[in-house]
């Protein structure tokens, strides 16, 4: 490239001729003046003078010619020198320009040069490819004339253009959308620089432009997938965790934090083994080892974690292992599901099933015993009638009867537990039930225990057997008393409650809705978990021999369940116990009309009774008793026999007294048959347990007369009279 000294050469050449000419004029003039004077002073001879002057003239010509020659030669040399240099420079420039042009045209970026009115000066090949317009189509045009700025971005782009043109900005980087000639929209990234001359005038602007559509799309796709993943991770209904091979947490989602009660920050201080219930540690380690060793791909465990508040939480954990491309393990991925509720429900379900099985067993036993006890007690009674006060057998038979009655109470409790006793529900206000028995309760619990009864105005009504409800309260009060040998406080509290879906879901046997809650709390010794698990089982007692029967809560359980309610117990050793009983509220509040039972003996006696009973002991007893009472008794051991008897008996039959469950036709079916022939016939059922033939879910159908086995002979005769007299 030409440097500054060479650049000044033409200037030297331009100035020299004038100077040379002036010097020549000066030197020549001086020479002529002084040489003439000198020669005139030395030579006086005119001829010689003329001659000398001629020589002098020649000398001058020769000298100046020589000088001229040297000068021209020098000048020519200089000229040819600089011409070669110029050529070299020009070639160099040419090459540089070529290189530049090549780069501009071949740059992967589109190159566009704009003049100081932002009109296209240069439009590289890449620009042609990018936008589709040929250089000749756009040269001299403003971007707006070309029409390649995306409408929505036009304002922003024009601001940039103005800033560049006005010299407010000498460079700029920006991104906007452009149209191509075919109308497609592409994302472009623009790099601009403005060139100003020394006076600050804008000469041109260079733009480099790149199509970033694919990059933008990829970026957006990545961002979207990242967002999707994050949302999935964060909003997942299961706990998710990434666990390093060193058992440290890399990442967990919110649900995971919710399950274990620690925040992600707090987890930083904890390794996995600190979270796992100690019993479950070994199996976890072993499974993780097998996973890392590649023996298994994934494993699932049901186990307990220890929450921040130290409570255990049951979880189902499924773990897999992430490996890098070379197969090296990177981290564990855990999916954690809170199954505490399921576990609790399973536990409740198992418990309910156990109670069901025990209940069936107890009910079956009680049923058979009822028949036996009816016989034992009945004949004891008959025997006693036949003996004088002084008879030595009196005492023995009395003992038999007493034992029989105790046994009858026991079977009754068992029936209650197995939900097979016959309830006679009424619409009840529990406030009244409790107020009625409060005096008895006070006496029952003794002076050391304070009794607090909180009744509730506007309490919802329930449908239950009042005698049974009293039984429930008494049993619970007695247990509370036993739990407070040194005194304390017994609180009975009534309230209306709404049980929601959530509550219903967590407790078996409860449907959402309005309930009356009866809470009985004591400040006694409380119970541990093992005791709590078993309290409703019949014959489960922690009391010493002779003190407890273990039937109190079993009875409560049976009665409450049979009444459509549910019981929850809260207790902790040393902290007392609360039983909460939920009974469904009923909507219709009709006046209950208690049937007043006549206490006096029936006035009118006699009549014909058809007795049907498959158990001979009971049949004989009943027959004998009724005969003794003055009735005519036709007895049959099954329905077929009874139908035959009825056919053969032309006279009226006043009462059918029948067992319910018998081989062949049931008591109910028999009654229906007989009623067709004898519409005036009255019916009295007797049974040891409930049966859907006459009761629905243990509740007697209205208008059905029923005698519960075992019955005393007094009750038998009274009931028979009542039915015959049309009282029941």
> Given the rule CB under 5 A, which residues bind Mg ion?
479, 552
158 contacts ligand ADP (rule: CB under 6 A) = no
Q: What is the C-alpha to C-alpha distance for residues 430 and 493, in angstroms, rounded to an integer?
A: 10
Q: Is 359 in the site for ligand ADP (CB under 6 A)?
A: no
Q: Which stretch binds ligand ADP (CB under 6 A): 20-28, 124-132, 545-553, 587-595?
A: 545-553
Could you tell me the smallest distance in angstroms from the CB atom of residue 541 to Mg ion? Answer: 7
Residue 525 interacts with, from Mg ion, ligand ADP, none (CB under 5-8 Å by kind): ligand ADP
Among 80, 81, 531, 677, binds ligand ADP (CB under 6 A): 531
Taking the least distance from each CB to ligand ADP, the nearer of 480 and 700 is 480
Cβ(165)–Cβ(202) under 8 Å?
yes
Site stretch for ligand ADP (CB under 6 A), options 133-141, 263-271, 518-526, 621-629: 518-526
Pairing outcome for strands 655-659 and 682-687: parallel
Tokens of 532: 């709590």
Q: Could you give the CA distance from residue 371 to residue 119 in angstroms, rounded to a whole number?
A: 117
Taking the complex as a whole, how short is the minimal distance between the CB of residue 341 and ligand ADP, in angstroms? 26
670 touches ligand ADP by CB under 6 A: no
Q: Which is nearer to ligand ADP, 276 or 527 (CB)?
A: 527
Interface positions, 565-624, toward ligand ADP (CB under 6 A): 577
User: Closest approach of Cβ 519 to ligand ADP, in Å?
Assistant: 12
What is the phi/psi pair of residue 129, to 5°? -65, -40
Reading the block at residue 454, the tokens are 């909180």
Residue nearest to Mg ion as judged by C-beta position: 552
- Binding residue for ligand ADP, selected from 553, 626, 643, 694, defined by CB under 6 A: 553
From Mg ion, ligand ADP, none, interface partner of 542 (C-beta below 5 to 8 A by class): ligand ADP
Q: Which helix (H) or strand (E) holds 400?
A: helix 393-417
- Of Mg ion, ligand ADP, none, which one does residue 667 interact with (CB within 5 to 8 Å by kind)? none
- Answer yes or no whether residue 548 interacts with ligand ADP by CB under 6 A: yes
Q: Whose Cβ is closer to ligand ADP: residue 59's or residue 575's?
A: 575
Q: Among ligand ADP, Mg ion, none, what binds residue 527 when CB lies within 5 to 8 Å by partner kind?
A: ligand ADP
**How many CA atoms does the CB half-sphere of 225 hold within 13 Å?**
6
CB of 473 to Mg ion, least distance (A): 12
> Tokens 């498959």 map to which residue?
614
Piece in contact with ligand ADP (CB under 6 A), picked from 238-246, 270-278, 429-437, 546-554: 546-554
List the one residue from 497, 540, 608, 629 that touches ligand ADP (CB under 6 A): 540
CB 674 within 8 A of CB 681: yes
Q: 586 by DSSP, 3-state: which?
A: coil
Q: Which is nearer to ligand ADP, 188 or 415 (CB)?
A: 415
User: Rounded to an integer, what distance in angstroms lies between the CA atom of residue 120 and that of residue 462?
Assistant: 94
Rg (CA), the chain: 60
> Which one among 75, 541, 620, 728 touches ligand ADP, defined by CB under 6 A?
541
Which residues share a beta bridge with 322? 331
559 binds ligand ADP (CB under 6 A): no
The span of 23-31, 108-116, 264-272, 536-544 binding ligand ADP (CB under 6 A) equals 536-544
CB 200 within 8 A of CB 167: yes
Interior angle at CA 433, CA 709 and CA 420, nearest 5: 25
CB of 489 to ligand ADP, least distance (A): 12
Q: Is 554 in the site for ligand ADP (CB under 6 A)?
A: yes
Chain centre distance of CA 656 = 62
Q: 467 to 506, contacts with ligand ADP by CB under 6 A? A: 475, 479-480, 483
Give the residue with the Cβ less far from Mg ion, 468 or 479: 479
Whole-angstrom distance, CA of residue 262 vs CA of residue 303: 18
Tell me which stretch binds ligand ADP (CB under 6 A): 109-117, 266-274, 416-424, 526-534: 526-534
Binding partner of residue 364 among Mg ion, ligand ADP, none, CB cut-off 5 to 8 Å per kind: none
d(CA 707, CA 371) in angstroms, rounded, equals 12
Adjacent-strand bridge partners of 193: 171, 206
Q: How far is the CB of 499 from Mg ion (least distance, A)?
A: 27
Residue 244 has phi, psi (to 5 degrees) of: -65, 165
Question: Which of residues 492 and 686 has its CB atom nearest to ligand ADP in the complex?
Answer: 492
**Least CB distance to Mg ion at residue 367 (A):** 24
Calculated CA dihedral for residues 103, 106, 109, 110, nearest 10 degrees: 100
Among 542, 632, 712, 728, binds ligand ADP (CB under 6 A): 542
Q: What does the alpha-carbon distance between residue 348 and residue 229 come to, in Å, rounded to a whole number?
A: 38
Can you tell me which of 524, 558, 698, 710 binds ligand ADP, judged by CB under 6 A? Answer: 524
Residue whose structure tokens are 């048959």:
673
Query: How far is CA 60 from each of CA 25, 401, 482, rounded to the nearest angstrom?
Result: 13, 183, 160
Decide if 210 contacts 126 (C-beta within 8 A).
no
Find all residues with CB under 8 Å of 108, minimum gap 6, and list them.
126, 210
Residue with tokens 């109910």: 668
| Smallest distance, ligand ADP to C-beta of residue 410, A | 12
Q: In angstroms, rounded to a whole number, what is the distance separating the alpha carbons of residues 267 and 525?
A: 39
Using the rule CB under 6 A, give the single segment among 114-122, 203-211, 438-446, 539-547 that binds ligand ADP. Answer: 539-547
**468: which 2 tokens?**
């049974």
Q: Which does 531 bind (CB under 5 to 8 A by kind): Mg ion, ligand ADP, none?
A: ligand ADP
Binder of ligand ADP out of 313, 519, 527, 716 (CB under 6 A): 527
Q: Which is nearer to Mg ion, 126 or 479 (CB)?
A: 479
Q: Could you tell me how many residues of this chain bind ligand ADP (CB under 6 A)?
A: 22
Torsion on CA atoms 67, 71, 77, 78, rounded to nearest 10: 150
Facing residues of 521 across strands?
491, 578
Instruction: State how far Cα 661 lies from the chain centre.
Output: 52
Whose CA is closest to 509, among 486, 536, 487, 489?
Answer: 536
Q: Shortest Cβ distance from residue 547 to ligand ADP (Å)?
A: 7
Strand order in the sheet with 577-584: 449-454, 488-499, 513-522, 577-584, 566-571
Q: How many CB atoms lie within 10 A of CB 356?
A: 12
Rounded to whole angstroms, how far apart are CA atoms 537 and 539?
6
Q: Which stretch binds ligand ADP (CB under 6 A): 41-49, 192-200, 279-287, 548-556?
A: 548-556
State which H helix or E strand residue 578 sits in. strand 577-584
Closer Cβ to Mg ion, 334 or 558, answer by number: 558
The one of Mg ion, ligand ADP, none whose footprint includes residue 611, by CB under 5 to 8 A per kind, is: none
Query: Is residue 522 part of the contact set for ligand ADP (CB under 6 A)?
Result: yes
637 binds, among ligand ADP, Mg ion, none (CB under 5 to 8 A by kind): none
- Asked if residue 204 binds ligand ADP (CB under 6 A), the reply is no
Residue 495 CB, nearest approach to Mg ion (Å):
24
The number of residues in the chain equals: 728
Tell me: does residue 413 bind ligand ADP (CB under 6 A): no
Tokens of 686: 């007797």
Q: Which is nearer to Mg ion, 261 or 548 (CB)?
A: 548
Least Å distance, CB 488 to ligand ADP, is 10
Nearest to 551 by CA among 436, 494, 474, 465: 474
Q: How far is the CB of 528 from ligand ADP (least distance, A)?
A: 10
Binding site for ligand ADP (CB under 6 A): 475, 479-480, 483, 522, 524-527, 531, 535, 540-543, 548-550, 552-554, 577
């Amino acid at each position: 490239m030409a440097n500054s000294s060479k650049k000044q050469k033409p200037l030297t050449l331009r100035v020299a001729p004038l100077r040379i000419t002036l010097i020549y004029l000066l030197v020549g003039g001086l020479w002529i003046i002084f040489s003439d004077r000198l020669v005139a002073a030395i030579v006086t001879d005119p001829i010689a003078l003329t001659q000398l002057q001629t020589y002098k003239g020649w000398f001058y010509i020769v000298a100046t010619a020589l000088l001229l020659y040297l000068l021209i030669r020098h000048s020519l040399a200089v000229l040819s020198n600089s011409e070669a240099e110029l050529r070299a420079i020009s070639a160099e420039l040419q090459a540089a320009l070529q290189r530049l042009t090549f780069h501009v045209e071949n740059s992967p970026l589109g190159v566009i040069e704009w003049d100081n009115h932002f009109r296209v000066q240069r439009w590289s090949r890449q620009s042609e490819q990018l936008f589709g317009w040929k250089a000749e189509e756009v040269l001299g045009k403003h971007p707006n004339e070309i029409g390649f700025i995306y409408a929505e971005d036009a304002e922003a782009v024009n601001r940039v253009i103005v800033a560049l043109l006005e010299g407010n900005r000498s460079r700029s980087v920006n991104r906007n959308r452009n149209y191509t000639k075919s109308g497609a929209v592409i994302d472009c990234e623009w790099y601009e620089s403005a060139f100003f001359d020394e006076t600050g005038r804008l000469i041109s602007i260079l733009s480099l432009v790149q199509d970033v559509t694919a990059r933008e799309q990829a970026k957006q796709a990545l961002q979207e997938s990242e967002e999707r993943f994050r949302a999935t991770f964060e909003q997942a209904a299961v706990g998710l965790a990434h666990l390093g091979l060193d058992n440290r947490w890399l990442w967990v989602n919110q649900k995971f934090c919710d399950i274990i009660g620690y925040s992600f920050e707090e987890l930083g201080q904890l390794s996995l083994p600190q979270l796992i219930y100690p019993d479950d540690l070994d199996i976890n380690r072993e499974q993780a080892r097998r996973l890392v060793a590649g023996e298994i791909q994934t494993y699932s465990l049901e186990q307990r974690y220890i929450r921040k508040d130290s409570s255990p939480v049951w979880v189902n954990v499924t773990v897999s292992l992430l490996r890098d491309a070379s197969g090296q393990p990177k981290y564990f991925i855990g999916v954690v599901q809170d199954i505490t509720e399921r576990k609790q429900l399973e536990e409740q379900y198992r418990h309910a099933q156990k109670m069901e099985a025990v209940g069936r067993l107890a009910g079956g036993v009680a049923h058979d015993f009822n028949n036996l006890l009816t016989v034992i007690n009945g004949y004891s009674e008959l025997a006693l009638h036949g003996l004088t006060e002084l008879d030595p057998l009196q005492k023995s038979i009395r003992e038999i009867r007493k034992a029989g009655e105790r046994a009858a109470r026991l079977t009754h409790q068992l029936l209650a537990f197995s939900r097979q006793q016959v309830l006679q529900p009424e619409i009840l206000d529990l406030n009244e039930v409790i107020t009625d028995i409060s005096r008895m309760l006070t006496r029952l619990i003794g002076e050391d225990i304070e009794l607090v009864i909180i009744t509730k105005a506007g309490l919802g009504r329930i449908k239950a057997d009042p005698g049974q409800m009293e039984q429930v309260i008494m049993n619970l009060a007695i247990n509370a008393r036993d739990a407070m040998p040194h005194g304390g406080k017994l609180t009975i509290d009534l309230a209306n409650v709404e049980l929601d879906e959530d509550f219903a879901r967590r407790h078996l046997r409860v449907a959402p809705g309005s309930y009356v809650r009866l809470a009985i709390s004591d400040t006694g010794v409380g119970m541990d978990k093992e005791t709590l698990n078993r309290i409703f089982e019949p014959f489960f007692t922690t009391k010493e021999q002779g003190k407890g029967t273990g039937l109190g809560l079993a009875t409560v359980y049976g009665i409450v369940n049979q009444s459509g309610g549910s019981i929850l117990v809260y207790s902790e050793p040393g902290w007392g116990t609360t039983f909460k009983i939920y009974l469904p509220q009923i909507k219709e509040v009709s006046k209950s009309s208690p049937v007043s039972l006549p206490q006096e003996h029936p006035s009118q006696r006699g009549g014909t009774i058809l007795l049907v009973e498959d158990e001979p002991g009971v049949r004989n007893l009943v027959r004998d008793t009724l005969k003794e009472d003055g009735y005519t008794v036709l007895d049959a051991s099954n329905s077929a026999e009874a139908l035959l008897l009825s056919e053969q008996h032309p006279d009226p039959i006043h009462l059918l007294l029948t067992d319910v469950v018998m081989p062949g036709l049931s008591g109910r079916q028999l009654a229906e048959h007989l009623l067709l022939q004898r519409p005036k016939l009255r019916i009295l059922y007797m049974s040891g347990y409930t049966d859907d033939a006459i009761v629905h879910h243990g509740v007697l159908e209205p208008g059905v007369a029923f005698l519960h086995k075992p019955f005393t002979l007094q009750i038998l005769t009274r009931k028979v009279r009542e039915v015959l007299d049309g009282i029941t």
